[in-house]
Structures are given as C-alpha cells and as structure tokens.
Chain A
Amino acid sequence: MDETVAEYIRRTVLKIPRDEIKSMLQTWGFLSETQLQTLNFHQTKDNISQDVVQLCEDNSADIKQAAVLDIIYNHIYPNKRIWSVYQMNKTGEETDFFDLTDFKKKFKRRLQSALKNVTINFREYEDNAIWIRIAWGTPYKKPNQYKTSYVVYHSQTPYVFISASVLRSTLPLLCQALVVASNYHDIREMELRSHCLNSLKDIAFKRYSQTFQTYYPRPLQERNVAPENVDLRIIQENRSEKERIQRVNREVFGDGPQPKLEFAQYKLETMFKSNPKMDVLDIKEPFRCLVKFSSPHLLESLKSLAPAGLADAPLSPLLTCIPQKARNYFKIRERKGFFPGSFVSP
C-alpha cells in the first residue's frame, strides 16, 4: 500500500471522535466485520489509527477507498467545512431527465481531460444528494488529498452546494464540469455561505418554517404575552409597545427556529446623511464601509435584538431579507430616484 494512502487513512481516523470510529468504519465497509473485531477501541486514538492502517495494508487499500472514508466523515460532519450555494440555469426547454451514470461520466471526463491527475469520488445518499469529493493535481503533480473540494448536488434541483478547495484556481473548472455534466447552461454563486449545510439547503429549497401569515390564532398571541410579573404593584407602562414589537418580530421572522447562518456581510456605498441635530456637513461622496455580523446563530440573535431593546422593530429589511433572498453577502448602493430612504442590493 502506498505510504501516502496509509498516512491519509491514519489522519482521517484521527479526526473522528473515538466513540464513532467503529460505526464509521462499519459504514465504510472496507474492513470486514472480523477485522473490525480485532480492533481495540479503548486504546489511544493514535494507536487505533495505527491498527486501522495495518488492517488496510492487509487489504491493500488505494486512495479511492481512502477517499470514501473521508466522504463518510464529511457527510457526518459537514459543519467542519464552509459551504457556498450555487444556482444553475437552463436556456431552453431541454429534457429534465437526469441520468446519474451519464452525469458521473461527463463530470469525470471534463476534469480528467484538463488535469490528468485528479481523484474523483461519488457517493449517493438517500435524500437524492450526490456527494462528490475531488482532490486536485496537475498534469505533472499528484492530487493533493488534503486540499479537497466537496460538492453536494441534488439532481432534481438547480442548486449545488460547494465547499471549495483552498486551491482557489480549481473553482472555475469545477463549475464548468458541473454545468456540462448536468446539462445546464450556466452557474452562478448565490452569495450564500455557512458552515451549516442543512440550513443552506433549508434556505435554498425554501424548507424553513415560513409563518409569514398575518393572521394568528388567538391562543398563540396569548401565549406570547404571558404576564411577566404576577405582582400587580408593578405596572408595565410600555406593555402595548412590547406587544407590538413581539408581533412585528413574529411577522418578520416567523415562529419556528431560524436556519443557521454564522455571518452576514454588507459592503455599503451609500450617502452619509447626518442627523440635522448633529451639525455635520453632509459628505457628497458615498461613504464606503464594510459591515460584518457574526454569531454562532446569526438569525436567532438578530431576532432577539428588537425585543431586547437594542434595535427598532421591525429590523431593517437588509437583515431580515437574508432567508428570503437566499444570500448573506450584499453590496448596497443608494437607490436613485424617489425613495431616498431605501437601498438597493445589486
């Protein structure tokens, strides 16, 4: 067995939490049940990984098989990577029939003809997702197994989720191969990124709880404005304002849990308008700034801003449009014309 394959398997095993190593190896299916029984999972991870490598040696594993283990790991821990959503477009009324074998063949051919050295693995999952792992090389260099790209493609949709390799130059070729293999015309990045692949799917497929109806059954309303203080000697003067904030917030964000995004970014090139009270000259040129929001759960924290008194209700559409527009990277310019207070995001 190739030394680089052995090292790759060893490192992959080291990434897996100890109590999950066994089940992942079972999913992998490369080692027999008898072989797995010889493994001692109570020793250090380092020793486990050595033993696994030894067994793989016996079975003379190659890089293709090692790569499958990496796919299994990434499928269980997609949050370790950052994912970006792409949308593909068709020009005319082409047939919608999708042939997996044909897709694989075309995809491979495209990359192999350009690079010669490239490791490509496919793995289908039950939710109709095809996981593709690509390790990139050049005509003169072996593929680098540690700088892989991952693609998750749902063939019945035009959306592709790509976790790009750090080798940025490979991205255009990857996109090209996807378009060709899936019979689309072009592909564009949607400017929607997150570690949470499932939330990206929820947003792209519009699966997240959309409770944007204006009518709410009564019990719901009562539940949300439960009396905060039982003592009648404490009187909330702003009770109705608080109720309004709750209502507006619910209209904007809905009732359900929010999809999980970790950041949003706005490049602003808008006019600086000072408050008349501030006595500052208006600056004629656009004021250039870059605003980044980051949170372990961005939309939930944005949702809690207005009720906490840290923001107006409703919150700015620039922030609340994230799930509907399916993007979290924006470039904002001043809208020309009649609405001085509004902005556009081209």
Chain B
Amino acid sequence: MAVVRPFDKLPALNSAAVLLVGSDESLQQKLAEAILKEKKNFKISIHLATSLPLPSERDHLRPRIDLIAFMIDIKSKYSLKNVEASLAHVDASFFLGKVCFLVTGVGRVNYCSVEMNAIWKLGEVYCSPVLYCELELEGIRVATAQRLLRMLQICAGHIPGVSALSFGLLMRNSADE
C-alpha cells in the first residue's frame, strides 16, 4: 500500500505512466507539460507527487507506473532530503532500471546548496541514472522531456529488444566514462 510496486498491476495496452516526484511543484508542472507536447504514439499519463508514499485512497485509480523520476534542485537541500526520504517507499524491483534522478539547476553553481557528491552517490547506491539538466531553460526542458519519454517507452516495454535494466546499465556505463 505504502510502497509503489512496478508489477502489481497489469500494463494497459499501448500506454505508459510516469511518476514525477519532487518538492518544486511549478517545475514539475512545466516538465509535465513539456512531455505532453512531444509527439508520441501511445497513451501517456503523468503522475505528480511532492513526496512518497502516494496516498493509498487513489491506489485503485492509478495505472501501473513504468518509470519514476525523482527531481532534485541543486538550489534546495530540502529537495534532496525529500527525495532521500521518498526513496524508502519504493519497491526494490523498481531499481532495476525504472528509476532515474533528474537534477535541475545545474549551471547555477553560485546558487548551489547541495553537495554534488551526495547526488552522485545517490545514483550509485540506488543503481539508477542521474540526469543533469536545467528545467528553467525551455530548450533544455524540451530535451529532458524527450529523454524521459524515450526512457519511459523502454521501461513500458514499447521498444522491442531493449529492457529497462539493460538500458539503465548502458546509461550508467556511459555516465561513468
């Protein structure tokens, strides 16, 4: 109930669901809108939550979640703490390629309130890719939306021959180089 599980529901045909978790709601909303603007050939639902666990009264309404993106703003240490606390409510099997960390505010080093090492370590510990971006810039927001969509398609099993896990490993390997 409190834990989000990846496989406790059957997938709906030709559709995918992404869950964005983060304390900055306006940024979340902007990203969601950017994702919707992209062309896609499947039905998408974007779930926004400030933190986990998700409220259980909505469990029956929610489709199977294919991808969780945790949003961290380097300007707010609270956003990192919030994500760290939320991670405890995610079922372990999600970390087989269905989770990513979206770090925004990158490039505003002078505003940095969190230690980058801590974020990088989060990716290591939870075996999930860390994407660095600046959601306040429209161009980067669009690119990030496209990237997330691609990951979502893979996680939802829409791309033949690529599994979420193998893709995740691929991403992590390229990030380490």
Contacts and interface: CB of A to CB of B under 8 A. Distances in A.
A13 B62 CA distance: 69
A237 B48 contact: yes
Contacts of A228: 29
A238 B46 contact: no
Main secondary structure of the interface of B (DSSP, over half): mixed
Contacts of A240: 55, 57
Contact of B46 (A233, A241, A309): A233
B32 A237 contact: no
Nearest to A235: B47
Given A309-B23, A309-B50, A234 B57 contact: no
Interface in A208-265: 228-229, 231, 233-238, 240-241
Contacts of B131: none
B124 interface: no
Kindly name the residue among B23, B25, B44 whose own CB sees the greatest number of chain A CB atoms within 10 A: B25
A234 B49 contact: no
Size bracket of the A interface: 10 to 19
Given A229-B29, A309-B23, A309-B25, A237 B36 contact: no
B65 to A, nearest CB: 10
Nearest to B45: A233
A236 B44 CA distance: 14
B48 A231 contact: no
Contact of A238 (B24, B32, B49): B49
Contacts of B87: none
Interface of B: 19, 23-25, 29, 32-33, 36, 44-51, 54-55, 57-58, 62
Interface of A: 228-229, 231, 233-238, 240-241, 309
